[in-house]
């Protein structure tokens, strides 16, 4: 293995906590009272359907920032939230650029970087990933993923073009993810697979991705454990 490519939302950063906090701050500033954990889940629930329109060919590739914003407008409208100034909506959309890393992420990545090329393989666009890395101190060597590949996960192209950008065969690249379906898609095209459970990604009642669903090449407790097991 030469490169470790990471899923980001849920695997490296705690998107749900970050979106809840951003929602609370937005609500306080604009007099909006909502169930913010529900708001976070509702916003995220529109993520896959929005990408599916692109994956299925129903829509040309657009950045995830654009999909996030359309979905935000939908969710706020459903909750009857209106009259918010445009800059505040743009700022709330950029909450995805200010998500907290999991406690082990920065230290684990810093160790892993000593032996491997570290990259993002997220559906998030380049600017989102760069700003998120600056916010949280995530030490990537390279930003890859959907925008560079012009294809959303879990299409084969999203993984294959990311490996090709590094001039590596898929067998020399590992995907690190907290989501079994992401790893399944990556394995199908030849990637190595590393599973890290994030049992509170979806909040206290999480029922999915608590355990590895297949015999992944490596299963770790967190990213420091990954560094231990990979000799970093």
Residues in the chain: 232
Q: Quick check: 133 binds its own copies (CB under 8 A)?
A: yes
x-or-dash string of contact with its own copies, 37-66, rule CB under 8 A? ----------------------------x-
Q: Quick check: 72 binds its own copies (CB under 8 A)?
A: no
We find the least distance from the C-beta atom of residue 98 to its own copies, in angstroms, to be: 15
Rounded Cα distance between 194 and 214, Å, is 11
We find the least distance from the C-beta atom of residue 38 to its own copies, in angstroms, to be: 29
> DSSP secondary structure string, 73-112?
HHHHHHTT-----HHHHHHHHGGGGSPPBPTTHHHHHHHH
**Taking contact as CB under 8 A, which single stretch among the options 39-47, 53-61, 132-140, 180-188 is the one that binds its own copies?**
132-140
57 CB-near residues (< 8 Å, 6+ apart): none
58 CB-near residues (< 8 Å, 6+ apart): none
Tokens 């979806």 -> residue? 202
Nearest to 97 by CA among 56, 59, 68, 61: 68
Q: Which is nearer to its own copies, 34 or 144 (CB)?
A: 144
Contact criterion met (CB below 8 Å) for 97 and 128 = yes
Neighbour tally for 20: CB within 10 Å? 20
Q: Quick check: 130 binds its own copies (CB under 8 A)?
A: yes
We find the least distance from the C-beta atom of residue 141 to its own copies, in angstroms, to be: 5
We find the least distance from the C-beta atom of residue 108 to its own copies, in angstroms, to be: 18
Mark out the alpha helices in 122-177 (DSSP H runs): 126-136, 146-149, 156-165
Q: Quick check: 147 binds its own copies (CB under 8 A)?
A: yes
Q: Quick check: 166 binds its own copies (CB under 8 A)?
A: yes
x-or-dash string of contact with its own copies, 91-120, rule CB under 8 A? --------------------------x-x-
Q: Quick check: 172 binds its own copies (CB under 8 A)?
A: no
**CA 166 vs CA 129, 143, 159, 173, 187: distances in Å:** 18, 11, 11, 9, 18
Q: Which is nearer to its own copies, 76 or 148 (CB)?
A: 148
**Taking contact as CB under 8 A, which single stretch among the options 19-27, 136-144, 193-201, 204-212 is the one that binds its own copies?**
136-144
Q: Which is nearer to its own copies, 25 or 142 (CB)?
A: 142
Name the residues that contact its own copies, by CB under 8 A: 65, 117, 119, 126-127, 129-130, 133-134, 140-144, 147-148, 165-168
């Amino acid at each position: 293995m030469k490169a470790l490519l990471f899923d980001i939302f849920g695997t490296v950063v705690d998107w749900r906590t970050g979106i809840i906090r951003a929602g609370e701050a937005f609500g306080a500033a604009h007099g909006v009272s909502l169930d913010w954990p529900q708001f976070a889940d509702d916003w995220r629930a529109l993520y896959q359907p929005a990408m599916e329109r692109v994956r299925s060919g129903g829509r040309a590739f657009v950045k995830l920032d654009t999909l996030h914003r359309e979905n935000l407008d939908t969710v706020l409208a459903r909750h009857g939230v209106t009259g918010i100034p445009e800059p505040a909506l743009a700022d709330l959309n950029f909450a995805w650029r200010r998500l907290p890393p999991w406690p082990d992420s920065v230290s684990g990545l810093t160790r892993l970087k000593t032996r491997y090329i570290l990259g993002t393989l997220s559906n998030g666009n380049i600017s989102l990933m760069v700003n998120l890395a600056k916010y949280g101190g995530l030490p990537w060597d390279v930003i890859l993923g959907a925008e560079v590949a012009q294809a959303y996960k879990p299409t084969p192209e999203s993984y294959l073009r990311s490996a090709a950008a590094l001039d590596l065969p898929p067998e020399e690249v590992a995907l690190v993810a907290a989501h079994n379906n992401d790893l399944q898609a990556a394995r199908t095209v030849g990637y190595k697979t590393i599973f890290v459970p994030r049992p509170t990604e979806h909040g206290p009642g999480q029922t999915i991705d608590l355990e590895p669903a297949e015999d992944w090449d490596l299963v770790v407790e967190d990213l420091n454990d990954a560094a231990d097991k990979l000799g970093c």
